[in-house]
Amino acid sequence: MDVAITGASGLIGRALRSSLEADGHRVAPLVRPGGSGRGIAWDPDGGTIDAGGLEGLDAVVHLAGEGVASGRWTDEHKEAVLRSRVQGTTLLAGALAGLRRPPKVFVSGSAIGYYGSRGDEILGEEAPPGYDFLSSVCVAWEAATAAAEDAGIRTLHIRTGIVLSGEGGALGAQRLAFKLGLGAKAGHGAQWMSWIHLDDEVGAIRHALDDDRLAGAANLVAPHPVTNAEFTKAFARSLHRPAFLRIPRLVTALPLGIGPLADSLLFVSQRVEPAALLGSGYQFRHRDLDEAFASL
């Protein structure tokens, strides 16, 4: 199989590329101007892409986008988060739609931020979007694939939860604090967290490349979400450390853009189920949070 990947140098992209190549598939990363390595040239900011390099591919996986937590939540950063997703996806989908030999499947990134904060509500793929900033980003991000869908390319929006990895990501930013015994739940810790092990993130994407039944949206989360308090205890337990502290909700009132970011990442409640994946027969390698932490 010939597969192109945007965001191939990111946490998920690196793991996906390694998994595909280990099984003998050919991977072509999409490379921005000034990027290292060989690949298919594209420049989302400039609106250019080497469409010829996409001809005849079997699949395209689109993972690129400005990191949500890569900076303070200023208006400029929020605009960069939205623009990087919409511009890049629109450019790529349009190029795929114009090919003589388009790929059979286009897997495009999204996130469970689509749903907003929903308390204890169980959220399947049919649930409507929320009303906050990240919800609006995900709605626009998914809508930007329209050209590819209209061209008849099977398109899947992967709404990814919190990805657990020993190589960075959500855990990397917290690991030192937890190892020092400073792990803390957010507020009372009753908010739901929907997570997925990196192994299953990669496994689910590969499953989606092969399974024609998957189109539209699929929640990439483990079958058993946990509360923030449970997640905090499990993370600390895996490191043989206590976790007695609590981050007060007052942190969301902090200036300089830290508060709104903390509110959206720490205090949001999303109890998401992977209905589409389970319905298509995907077998999770890591269903239990303690086992997932142990494997890392």
Give bridge partners of residue 58 from the DSSP assignment. Answer: none
Q: How does pLDDT run across 182-239, given as a tens digit for each residue? A: 999 999 999 999 999 999 999 999 999 999 999 999 999 999 999 999 999 999 999 9
Sign of CA dihedral 88, 97, 160, 4: negative
57 occurs within a structural domain: yes
The answer to whether position 58 is within a domain reads: yes
* Mean pLDDT score of the chain: 94
Contact 243, 141 (CB under 8 A): no
Number of structural domains the chain divides into? 1
The whole-number pLDDT of residue 233 equals: 97
Assigned token pair, 199: 């192994």
Q: What's the pTM value of the predicted model, to 2 decimals?
A: 0.95
Residue 294 clears pLDDT 80, i.e. is over it:
yes
Tell me if 175 is assigned to some domain. Answer: no
The pLDDT of residue 264 is 77
Residue 77: band (very low, low, confident or very high) from pLDDT cuts 50, 70, 90: confident
Question: What local confidence, expressed as pLDDT, does residue 38 receive?
Answer: 87
**What local confidence, expressed as pLDDT, does residue 250 receive?**
78
Q: Is residue 246 part of a domain?
A: no
Q: Which domain holds residue 58?
A: 2-167+195-223+272-286
Q: Are 54 and 2 in contact (CB under 8 A)?
A: no
Residue type, 115: Y
Within-domain flag for 259: no
- 264 within domain boundaries: no
With contact defined as beta carbons under 8 Å apart, do 30 and 61 qualify?
no
pLDDT in tens, 235-261: 999 999 999 999 998 776 666 556 677
d(CA 236, CA 276): 31
Q: pLDDT at residue 85 above 80?
A: yes
In sequence order, what are the residues at sequence separation of 6 or more whose Cβ sits closer than 8 angstroms to the Cβ of residue 162?
Answer: 170, 193, 194, 195, 196
The answer to whether residue 84 is domain-embedded is yes
pLDDT value for 64: 94
Share of the chain above pLDDT 90, in %: 83
Where residue 77 sits, what CATH number does that domain have?
Answer: 3.40.50.720
Cα separation, 258 vs 72, whole angstroms? 6
User: Does the pLDDT value for residue 8 go beyond 80?
Assistant: yes
Backbone φ, ψ for residue 269 (5° rounding): -120, 115
Instruction: For the chain, give the DSSP string.
Output: -EEEEESTTSHHHHHHHHHHHHTT-EEEEEE-TT-SS--EEEETTTTEE-GGGGTT-SEEEE-----TTSS---HHHHHHHHHHHHHHHHHHHHHHHT-SS--SEEEEEEEGGGG---TT-EE-TTSPP-SSHHHHHHHHHHHTTHHHHHTT-EEEEEEE-EEE-TTSHHHHHHHHHHHTT--EEETTS-SEE-EEEHHHHHHHHHHHHH-TT--EEEEES-S--EEHHHHHHHHHHHTT----EEE-GGGGG-TTTHHHHHHHHHS---EE--HHHHHTT---S--SHHHHHHH-
**Residue 108 resides in a domain:** yes
CA 258/CA 31 separation, integer angstroms: 32
Q: How far apart are CA 150 and CA 39, in angstroms?
A: 27
Angle between helices 169-179 and 228-238 in degrees, nearest 10? 70
